[in-house]
Each structure stands twice: as structure tokens, then as C-alpha cells.
Amino acid sequence: PICYSFCTLLIHHTPDMAEIGKGDPRWIVKERDDGANCNNWHWTEKDILPWAKSQIKEIIEGNHFEKTNSMEVKTTDVQNIEGDALIMNRKKKLICSFDLKMEIGWEGKILDADTGDEIYTVKGKMIVPDVDDTTIGDDMAVDVTCAEEGDAADKVLAVVRKQGRSFIRKGMEEFANSLKDAHNITNKVQSKVSDGSPKATSSSETKKEVNTSLTDTLSARYDWRCPPAELWDALTNQGKASAYTRSNALIELKTGGSFKYLGGSISGTFSSVDPPKGFVMKWRLDNWNTNHFSEVSISLDSQEAGVTEMKIEQVNIPCGELERVRQGWQQNFWEPIKHLFGYQFNKK
């Protein structure tokens, strides 16, 4: 089945129920003239990038990851932190999401083992091109550069490539957990940083491409208990998609724009976009043949007040993948949208 990794964490607060038909204001959910978001009911996003930058620097800067009588290596400063860090709220459910890149300066010193005097200094950078909640741990890329050359530089560089990378990866795990602590989210990131020793890979873990010579078609209709504009926003808003798929989504909502879901397990481009009526996508799973795409057409139509009929047709699905794709839409999109936003649906 299509699988995904989660950074998303949900917190439920259950208020006392109001009596039906008594006119209790707790039953009324509408936009207020004063713009107030009563009881955190409506979707909100809070940009926490400045906080994230400060926290990452506090965790990583100025720390030794190698210190012996003949060598000291430490981080110096964290530079050029870019990307997104958000806390999202809907119906008192909190979701955290971040997608960052950065550069970390490092400095190594070769010392006289007897006197402790400095013999040689080496400097360089550790570059993190992309880190999010799906790549914390050994999956997080850390590129290492060095400004000097020579035997002494190579000796320090070897330490940075092993201990330095491990330190940065563990530091980002600590950052992810500090983010949860700061926003009262209890689930913690379990350490996924290894000691650097190689691991055997079983044949069942090796990705195999799917035969695409024969294809199937998926066709379905659903009634959603929400207006078309709200369902459209749930399907096409990048922040909301990141929340309910519990991984960082990429959605460039325009003809020719790219999309990625579930850490790149699903990717493709938009062939056409017609807000809020529907869109067409060239859509593929990452284990399909490189140039094979299915075509997904999703249309939204208002049936009555507060009800939207959604039609989905997906053609050119590789034979044998139909049930996997069907379950993937249900488990990774329709059910999470229902649970996060409260939009009930039924298949017609």
C-alpha cells in the first residue's frame, strides 16, 4: 500500500456538549464581523520560521563533536536558514510542519598531543539541502566541504563526515522535539540516526518497477458534506495537504505546475486547473516506469446547499496497481480530509 511518514501531531480537546435546539452559541459556526476565530474552529496558520531559526542556532552552534588531546572539531555558526516552518490549527487540532535548508560552519584544529598547542586549523561547511519531518534521521542529507587540502585537512574532514553528520542529524531531531514541546504536542520523534555502520537490505526491501504494458481505470463518485470551495481548498492548498497527508506536500496550482505528496511517493504535473470546478493531473507512483503517467480528472459540482459531488476518473493505471491506487486515495486523502476538517462523505 502507499505509505507515508508523519510529522503531523493531532491534539483533541472535547468541550462540554450543548443541547440540541436550545440556540446555544456553541452550535453556531460562522464568520464574525470582528474577524474573531471563536474556539479556534477555523483553519489558521502561524509562521514560526523566526523561532525555528533561533532554536536551531541554539542547538547546533558552538558545539564540539570531536575533542581529544590531538584534535578538536566543532560547529561555528548556522548560516542561511531558509524554508518554511508552520503551526496549523483546525478545530483545536494542532499540526506542525517544516521544510528547511541551511549551512553550518565548522572548524577543526590539529593539536600537539603533549602540549595542547594548536598546529593546524581547518575550516569548512556542512550543507543541509533539505530537511523536513520525513527526512529526520539517517535519511537527512548532509554535504561536507573543506576550505583546505592536504593530509591534515583530510584527517579532520573524515571526522566531520562521520561525527559531524551524526551531530547535525541528532541536532535536527532535538529541534523537531523542541518544536513539539514549545507548542504542547506530546508525541516525540524517535531517534533514527544510526552509528554509521552499514545495514543489509533484504530483497523484499528493494524497489521494483511495475509493469506498465497493460492498464486499468478507476472511476468513482462521492458526495461530500461541504461546499465546493471548501473541498477545493482542502484538495489544492499546500499547507492543508501537508497537514492531512502528514508530510510536506508541493502543489504548484497552475497548468504545467508540479505536485508531490507523501515524500515524493506521488508526483506529476497539472494538465489543467479550473478553480473551483476541478483539475486534471499527470500522476504517477515512484515505482512505476519513469516515463509512465496515469491521468487523474477530479471535478466538483454543487448538488445542494452544503453538498458537493466529486467525480474522480484515473486512466492508464498499470495493471495490478488498481487496488493499491484505490486504497491510497481512500487512506491517504479522503479519510484524512474527513478526520481533519470534519467533512463527511459517502461513495455513490
Q: What is the pTM of this model?
A: 0.51
How much is the pLDDT for 263? 85
pLDDT computed for residue 190 by the predictor: 52
Using only C-alpha atoms, the chain has a radius of gyration, in whole angstroms, of: 25
Contact 281, 295 (CB under 8 A): yes
Given the C-alpha cell 497548468, which residue does it identify?
Answer: 255
DSSP-derived secondary structure for 188-227: -PPP----S------GGGS--PBP-SSEEEEEEEEEESS-
Return the closest-CA partner of residue 246 out of 107, 119, 93. Answer: 93
Give the CA-trace dihedral at 331, 253, 233, 314, to 10 degrees.
-40
The C-alpha atoms of residue 153 and residue 201 are separated, in whole angstroms, by 34
The residue whose grid cell reads 509493469 is 211
Nearest-CA neighbor of 234 among 242, 22, 156?
Answer: 242
Per-residue pLDDT of the chain (348 residues; tens, 9 = 90+): 444 443 443 334 444 433 433 343 333 334 434 334 444 445 577 888 999 999 999 999 999 999 999 999 999 999 989 988 888 776 566 777 888 999 999 999 999 988 989 999 999 999 999 888 777 777 788 999 999 989 989 999 999 999 999 999 999 999 988 887 776 554 444 555 544 433 333 333 334 556 556 789 999 999 999 999 999 999 999 989 988 988 889 999 999 999 999 989 999 999 999 999 999 999 999 999 989 999 999 999 998 888 999 999 999 999 889 999 999 999 999 999 998 888 999 998
Contact at 8 Å (CB) between 92 and 105?
no
pLDDT at 209: 56
Q: What's the pLDDT tens digit per position in 323-347?
A: 999 999 999 999 999 988 889 999 9
Q: 306 in the Ramachandran plot: left (φ > 0), alpha (ψ -120 to 50) or beta?
A: left
Q: What residues have CB less than 8 Å from 85, skipping those under 6 apart?
A: 47, 48, 49, 51, 52, 97, 98, 99, 100, 179
pLDDT one-digit tens code per residue, 231-250: 999 999 998 998 898 888 99
What count of other Cβ atoms lies within 10 Å of the Cβ of residue 159? 18
Contact 164, 185 (CB under 8 A): no
Which residues, other chains included, contact 87 with Cβ-Cβ below 8 Å and sequence gap of 6+? Answer: 45, 46, 48, 94, 95, 96, 183
